[in-house]
Amino acid sequence: MGESNGSQFYICLQFVGFMLQMFPAVILLFAPYRQEQMRVSRKRLLTVFGISTTGVSVLGALFLGHIYWESGNDLQARICGNLIFFVYLLIGSAAYFLSLRRSTKTGVLTYMLVLQYEVAMYIIAEMLVKHFPAAFRAQMPYSVGDVFVYAAGAGLTLPAVYHFLVRVGKERFRSVNSKGMFLITGSSVIMLAATVCSLQMEVIIDAAQANGEINLFLSIWLGCMVIISFLAYFIYFRCLRIEEEKADINMRLAAEEMQYKALAEKINEDRRMSHNMRHHFRMLTTLADQHHYAELQDYLKKYTKEWEEISKRNVCVNPMFNSILAYYFSRAEAEGIEIETDIKIREFYSFDITDMTVLLGNAMENALEACETSERSKPFIRVMMKQIIKALLFQIEKKKKNGSAPGREGGRVYSTKQGRSRGYGISSMDMIARKYQGSLEYWQEEGQFVLRVVLNIPESVTEGS
């Protein structure tokens, strides 16, 4: 009866140990991803991985219980437990990568981060359990001490790590370029390999001469490995944050430059209008003094017509968008570029004027440059702005140069025959789109290059509208 109870306790202990070591990885692996980055729904993936993890834990615990009570060999049970874990790791890793779309560039990095977390938990358990009483570390591969440390570690760290991965997936991973992603992923692989080698050395030293002093030194060594890995990732993500802040500063400097150009153009236009007004009033006074009323009436009609044409330059009822677009529309008019508009928006939105200056400024600059290189006799730009429920849609279309090959020069896209493209200013524009939980796309169709941006309108503005 005692052996039966002992066997059941051992099996339950191994089952809990397997679950505590494997289940956190299942929860963390898919935390950073949006649904469009995965081939299968998140709920279905978590269900399948959860059921398979539970099934492997049950079968593994039963198998280890059989081996342990048949042979009574702790080392054999530990080797079998490690083998079960390794096989499940291989199968689970393959299933994880197959569940992600090919366009998801952060799959390896997320995998390495979760694996590092699991290794850190293992190292902490190894460090602490060495100093527990013998009764708490008697069983293999999972003792009472191991289960206690894994349970406490998961309870203390899992929520924080999960929220970190969710936040990083939304705010950081999307802004990392391919070179940076390759660098951090490669560094993660090297750090993990170094950690595994250190663990292997610890096992050899522990087997050769285990005593209280050696265990203390080994614990300190393993603790240093965990701290170094943590600091390496902390420095990387901190540098990534600094790079984003730098990009944001550059974007705002570009916006200030665009605003300055628009303001300078407005000042010059006001000066020209003031100068012309003086001439108009002199002419009106002269005609009135000389009683040339017919000429005076003709002059007033001509002046009224000019004033009406100037008034038509108001692009929309929204002062912010009107001031930005009017500047670029006047440039287009001076260069002989035809402008078509379809703008139906409200008078006020709480979008940041700097963000909108960068967004529309970059889009219109690219459109004007494309028209300058166009072979068409009458190039044109079509601008559409509409509010759709709680989102604001921008679409700018421009005629592209016929027969040009796909290519880039200085980071600017000049033509594309198929697919999506990223060009000059796209990083800043994409950053703004993401800031408002929106999207940005470029593509070419039937000789036209199209930019489409969708921005979510802040809730404080849409409410009650």
**pLDDT at position 320:** 83
Please report which helix (H) or strand (E) contains residue 46, including its range: helix 42-71
pTM: 0.57
pLDDT per position in the chain (465 positions), as tens?
A: 445 666 788 888 889 988 998 889 999 988 888 887 888 888 888 999 999 999 988 988 888 887 777 766 666 777 777 788 788 888 888 999 899 888 777 788 888 888 888 888 888 888 888 788 877 776 677 888 889 999 999 999 999 999 988 887 766 665 566 666 677 777 777 877 877 777 777 767 766 666 667 777 777 877 887 888 888 888 877 877 777 777 777 766 776 676 667 666 666 766 776 777 777 778 878 878 888 778 878 777 777 766 665 555 677 888 888 878 888 888 888 888 888 888 889 888 888 877 888 888 888 888 887 776 655 567 788 899 999 888 888 888 876 544 443 333 333 333 333 333 344 467 778 888 888 888 888 877 766 788 899 998 877 544 444
**pLDDT at position 293:** 79
Spatial distance between the Cα atoms of 183 and 178, rounded to a whole number of angstroms: 9
Spatial distance between the Cα atoms of 451 and 406, rounded to a whole number of angstroms: 17
The answer to whether 96 and 33 are in contact (CB under 8 A) is no
**pLDDT at position 461:** 43
**pLDDT at position 313:** 62
Return the DSSP state at 34.
-
Residue 1 half-sphere exposure toward CB, CA atoms < 13 A: 0
Nearest 5 degrees, angle CA 193-CA 195-CA 201? 105
Spatial distance between the Cα atoms of 200 and 206, rounded to a whole number of angstroms: 10
Report which of 8, 17, 152 is spatially closest to residue 81, judged by C-alpha positions. Answer: 17
Return the DSSP state at 255.
H
Hunting for tokens 């049970």 — which residue is that? 77
Spatial distance between the Cα atoms of 188 and 61, rounded to a whole number of angstroms: 32
